[in-house]
Amino acid sequence: MTPGKATMLDTLREMLDREVPALLEEFRVPGLGIGLRIGDESLGLGYGVTHLEHPLPVDGDTVFQVGSISKTFVGIVVAQLEREGLLDIEAPVAPLLADLGTLDPRITTRHLITHGAGIDAQYMIGRAHELLADHADDSIQASIQHFADDAVMFEPGTDFSYSGPGFMVAAAVVERVTGRVWADVLRERVLEPAGMARTFTTADEVITYRVAAPHDIVDDRASLARDEGWQRHWQLPGWDVPGGGVLSTPNELMRYLDYAWRTEPGTGFFGLLANRGVPGLDIAYAWMREPRRGRFAFGHDGLTIGYSSRLLGYPEDRIGYALLTNSVKGGPLKDAVERRILDVLFGAETPSVDAGEPLEPYLDLVGRYDCGFYGQVDLRLREDGSAFELIALPAARQDGTFTIDPMSSPRLLPAGPGVLSSDPGSEFPEDLITYVRDSSGKPVALRIHERISERVA
């Protein structure tokens, strides 16, 4: 007999109550907010504390920075404007934004919302403190003037490389088309219709609510993260709101999923627009489509300084969940909790099995790759010859700059055409690194965290 909706939510809650406290200790994350939705029923849960120095219990209404989940709102609004005949996503955006710089004339809105524009400009994060000194304008329109004249990484529409600045441009297009600033467009077109009264874009708006403070791990212990990020203090710059600056709660994100499922048939924002460089990993209107237990989910991960988040929904099953942590290193906790949720919802995961593929055809991948403001990485063959390993070479910090350490992995194996994986058979894209070869077959780049890192040695 299949359990009823309420019974399944009860089962999930019992499992989470039993297992999450120990996982918080294991991964040294202070707090976790969880939203669950099955059909018309939803549940918001909280574990751990909001703040190590002034602790309050996390609950379903605790506000977190949700990071790049914010990009899905841009996708919904773009789809709405397209359906209303106000925006042609196949038209070049340069004429609309000509006063902001010389954007590549081939870039379209479709390219922007699928990370296919070739815009890099990651220094917008690394140099934010410098660029925003002396109360400089942090509007979306102002941001584009910093990188509009930059050369693109590849011909727009021919490749995929994750680009936060690309979403600054997409939001600027929305502002020009609507004549409204992005925060107002977001509230009027999505937040209010979805009943999301506790979802915000500024620190001023959340000051009277329970807020999860940002944390990191220092000397193997969780600690509060004060002024450690690219943003000025806690709030992200205005230019980064479309790409990562939304503030929300587990309960609110479940309302968002319900709104998305109800309204998607009218605008088609789950319609696939591009591949992400790996078979089976695709992108719709900013919504990432990913496999889980033989199904496909739509959603997005998020990462800001002090927070790591995930929102996934299964439209055909009307099942969804949000995982919001108040630690920049909350990713492994998210994965562990999600696996347990998936076990309850869809059955146990099939254990991954190493393909046993010989490494010789891939030895030409060994080399050094540049990850921009993250630094560089060395892809090496392990001493025992059993696998590759990825060694992080963090960028040196300079005054007024910020860096994030690049990815490292002690074990990578071939896992299909163009793919290396730290866990062959894993359902999680963060376990994958893809490699790019030129027309002659020479390896020229890795795609790490879905961003192109060019080979330099």
Q: Rounded mean pLDDT of 45-72?
A: 98
Cα–Cα distance for residue pair 244/270, rounded to 1 Å: 20
- Our measurement of the distance from residue 347's CA atom to the centroid of its chain's CA atoms, rounded to an integer in Å, reads 26
**Is residue 337 domain-shared with residue 384, that is, in the same domain?**
no
Is pLDDT above 70 for 84? yes
Query: Which residues touch 383 (CB under 8 Å, ≥6 apart)?
Result: none
Helix (H, G, I), strand (E, B) or coil at 436: strand
Q: Which residue has the tokens 């709030």?
A: 235
**Is residue 306 domain-shared with residue 372, that is, in the same domain?**
no
Which comes out higher in pLDDT, residue 247 or 402? 247
Host domain of residue 318: 1-349
**Is residue 318 domain-shared with residue 369, that is, in the same domain?**
no
Cα–Cα distance for residue pair 90/205, rounded to 1 Å: 36
Is pLDDT above 60 for 2? no
Which comes out higher in pLDDT, residue 34 or 233? 34
**Is residue 364 domain-shared with residue 275, that is, in the same domain?**
no
Q: Rounded mean pLDDT of 418-439?
A: 89
Question: Does residue 354 sit within a domain?
Answer: no
Residue 399: band (very low, low, confident or very high) from pLDDT cuts 50, 70, 90: low
Residue 130: band (very low, low, confident or very high) from pLDDT cuts 50, 70, 90: confident
pLDDT digits 0-9 by tens, 283-308 = 999 999 999 999 999 999 999 989 99
Question: Does residue 355 sit within a domain?
Answer: no
Contact 308, 222 (CB under 8 A): no
**Is residue 333 domain-shared with residue 398, that is, in the same domain?**
no
pLDDT digits 0-9 by tens, 258-267 = 999 999 999 9
**Is residue 330 domain-shared with residue 407, that is, in the same domain?**
no
Q: What is the pLDDT at residue 374? A: 79
Cα–Cα distance for residue pair 212/93, rounded to 1 Å: 38
Residue 205: band (very low, low, confident or very high) from pLDDT cuts 50, 70, 90: very high
Cα–Cα distance for residue pair 306/304, rounded to 1 Å: 6
Is pLDDT above 90 for 364? yes
Question: Does residue 25 sit within a domain?
Answer: yes
Q: Rounded mean pLDDT of 394-412?
A: 73
**Is residue 366 domain-shared with residue 410, that is, in the same domain?**
yes
Q: Rounded mean pLDDT of 60-89?
A: 98
Q: Is 318 exposed, middle or buried (0-12, 13-18, 19+ CB in 10 A)?
A: middle
Is pLDDT above 70 for 147? yes
Contact 124, 169 (CB under 8 A): no
CATH label of the domain that carries residue 450: 2.40.128
**Is residue 118 domain-shared with residue 65, that is, in the same domain?**
yes
Cα–Cα distance for residue pair 169/89, rounded to 1 Å: 13
Q: What is the pLDDT at residue 1? A: 35
Of 305, 326, 349, which closes a domain? 349
**Is residue 337 domain-shared with residue 382, that is, in the same domain?**
no
CATH label of the domain that carries residue 126: 3.40.710.10
Q: Which helix (H) or strand (E) holds 261?
A: helix 250-267
Averaged pLDDT score across all residues of the chain: 92
Of 293, 314, 349, which closes a domain? 349
Q: How many domains is the chain partitioned into structurally?
A: 2
Q: Is 269 exposed, middle or buried (0-12, 13-18, 19+ CB in 10 A)?
A: buried
DSSP class of residue 88 equals -
Return the closest-CA partner of residue 374 out of 343, 396, 406. 406
Dig out the tokens for 3 from the structure.
């359990």
Q: What is the pLDDT at residue 350? A: 76
**Is residue 217 domain-shared with residue 318, that is, in the same domain?**
yes
Of 349, 376, 395, which closes a domain? 349
pLDDT digits 0-9 by tens, 325-359 = 999 999 999 999 999 999 999 998 876 665 567 89
